[in-house]
């Protein structure tokens, strides 16, 4: 009987491992979650290791044993971080699935642009948690809650400085109306906002995701921005979206608007953002991501500004794990065995 050698490089529960094994009797599953932590400490920035590896974790096995695991693997389920030289050490590798949703996570390694089929968990993450975070960020600045810390530090209240906004009737623009963006739009609409959005290409099918009055293509962003009171970035980081929000785009945004980014820091030109804040063009900015977040702290011009709320990529965290990566991987594994097309295969030219 033909066997399919599946290797997991990310820590999984016994329940998740059982789900993978249950896909087909021909699956030969090897769990190597945590085995490569020592290598990650040596090959990834110290900032990354501190944030994503368990304290004191040094991995398991010898280098030769880990090399053998990779050399025998045909299918690998990985997480973050991952071996940067994975393709070179896994000559039999045919398919790699990344548990995170962002394809740009793989730009560091030798898988990017290779002959290996690579899939992501796009649309299957904790999308609702991220949408709730985005709405919380909007409310934080719409109601002037950032002023409370300023008043506390000053030791006196400045009530007129709060200037609360009513969300009902305001316009929200969701940049990247996919899995995360669709949930953002639904929640914003529930608060009475008119919601518009963009995708790489305008959808040709109806109905639109719940809550949206219009979804345009990438070219429609500049049409939406002048009227948008809230802008939430949820799109993938690709060559097309690199520094999508630059000096010109900030000038196009509505004065006094609120910007939220739960996607990738590189989508925003941070110098241009800091300049827009210096001109007092934006009411507030919420960043769960920033440029170089896996290597160093945020830019001081942003982190020190009370109109900027920066968090360490925690928008997807929650007391409830609704991440659907394992379910997606199992569906794709069944499709792989049956010879059917898989979901979320990365198009290297498109970037996701």
Q: What is the pLDDT of residue 206?
A: 81
Terminal-residue alpha carbon distance, the chain: 35
Check if the beta carbon of residue 93 is closer than 8 Å to that of residue 67. no
Q: Which residues, 6+ apart, have CB-to-CB distance to 339 below 8 Å?
A: none
Secondary structure (DSSP) of 6-67: EEE-S---HHHHHHHHTT-TTEEEEE-TTTTHHHHHHHS-HHHHHHHS-TT---SS-HHHHH
Q: Which fold has domain 4-124+323-338?
A: Rossmann fold (3.40.50)
Q: What is the pLDDT of residue 1?
A: 67
CATH architecture designation of domain 127-310: 3-Layer(aba) Sandwich (3.40)
CA distance 173 to 181: 10
Q: What is the pLDDT of residue 322?
A: 78
Q: Is the dihedral of CA 215, 219, 223, 229 positive or negative?
A: positive
User: Which residues sit opposite 345 in a β-bridge?
Assistant: 119
User: Which residues sit opposite 257 in a β-bridge?
Assistant: 282
Under DSSP, is residue 328 helix (H, G, I), strand (E, B) or coil?
A: helix
Per residue of the chain (352 residues), give pLDDT as tens. Answer: 689 999 999 999 999 999 999 999 999 999 999 999 999 999 999 999 998 999 989 999 999 999 999 999 999 999 999 999 999 999 999 999 999 988 998 999 999 999 999 999 998 888 999 999 999 999 999 999 999 999 999 999 999 999 999 999 999 999 999 999 999 999 999 999 999 999 999 998 889 999 999 999 999 999 999 999 999 999 999 999 999 999 999 999 999 999 999 999 999 999 999 999 999 999 999 999 999 999 999 999 999 999 999 999 999 999 987 778 999 999 999 999 999 999 999 999 999 9
Distances from the Cα of 346 to the Cα of 77, 103, 244, 255, 284, angstroms: 15, 7, 21, 37, 34
CA distance 21 to 6: 9
CA distance 74 to 6: 6
Q: What is the pLDDT of residue 137?
A: 98
- Answering whether pTM is above 0.85, one says yes
Domain locations in the chain as residue ranges = 4-124+323-338, 127-310
Secondary structure (DSSP) of 87-120: HHH-TT--EEEESSS-GGGGGGSTTTTSSSEEE-
Nearest to 284 by CA among 144, 188, 168, 152: 144
Q: What is the pLDDT of residue 211?
A: 97
Under DSSP, is residue 163 helix (H, G, I), strand (E, B) or coil?
A: coil
Check if the beta carbon of residue 182 is closer than 8 Å to that of residue 195. no
């Amino acid at each position: 009987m033909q066997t399919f050698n599946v290797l997991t490089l990310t820590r999984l529960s016994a329940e998740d491992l059982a789900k993978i094994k249950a896909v087909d009797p021909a699956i030969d599953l090897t769990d190597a979650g945590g085995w490569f932590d020592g290598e990650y400490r040596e090959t990834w920035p110290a900032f990354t290791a501190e944030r994503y590896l368990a304290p004191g974790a040094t991995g398991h096995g010898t280098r030769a044993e880990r090399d053998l695991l990779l050399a025998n693997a045909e299918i690998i389920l990985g997480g973050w971080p991952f071996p940067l030289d994975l393709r070179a050490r896994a000559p039999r590798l045919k398919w790699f699935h990344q548990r995170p949703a962002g394809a740009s996570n793989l730009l560091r390694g030798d898988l990017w642009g290779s002959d290996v089929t690579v899939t992501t968990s796009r649309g299957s993450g904790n999308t609702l948690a991220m949408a709730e975070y985005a709405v919380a960020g909007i409310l934080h600045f719409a109601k002037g809650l950032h002023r409370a810390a300023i008043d506390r530090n000053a030791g006196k209240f400045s009530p007129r400085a709060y200037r609360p906004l009513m969300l009902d009737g305001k316009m929200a623009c969701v940049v990247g109306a996919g899995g995360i963006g669709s949930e953002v739009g639904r929640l914003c609409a529930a608060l009475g906002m008119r919601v518009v959005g963009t995708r790489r290409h305008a959808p040709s099918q109806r109905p639109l995701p719940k809550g949206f009055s219009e979804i345009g293509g990438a070219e429609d962003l500049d049409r939406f921005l002048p009227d948008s009171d809230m802008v939430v970035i949820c799109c993938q980081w690709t060559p097309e979206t690199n520094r999508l929000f630059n000096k010109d785009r900030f000038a196009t945004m509505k004065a006094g608007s609120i910007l939220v980014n739960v996607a990738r820091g590189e989508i925003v030109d941070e110098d241009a953002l800091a300049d827009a804040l210096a001109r007092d063009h934006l009411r507030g900015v919420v960043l769960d991501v920033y440029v170089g977040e896996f290597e160093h702290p945020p830019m001081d011009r942003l982190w020190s500004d009370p109109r900027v709320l920066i968090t360490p990529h925690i928008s997807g965290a929650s007391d409830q794990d609704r991440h659907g990566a394992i379910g997606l991987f199992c569906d794709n594994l069944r499709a792989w065995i049956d010879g059917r097309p898989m979901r979320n295969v990365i198009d290297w030219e498109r970037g996701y």
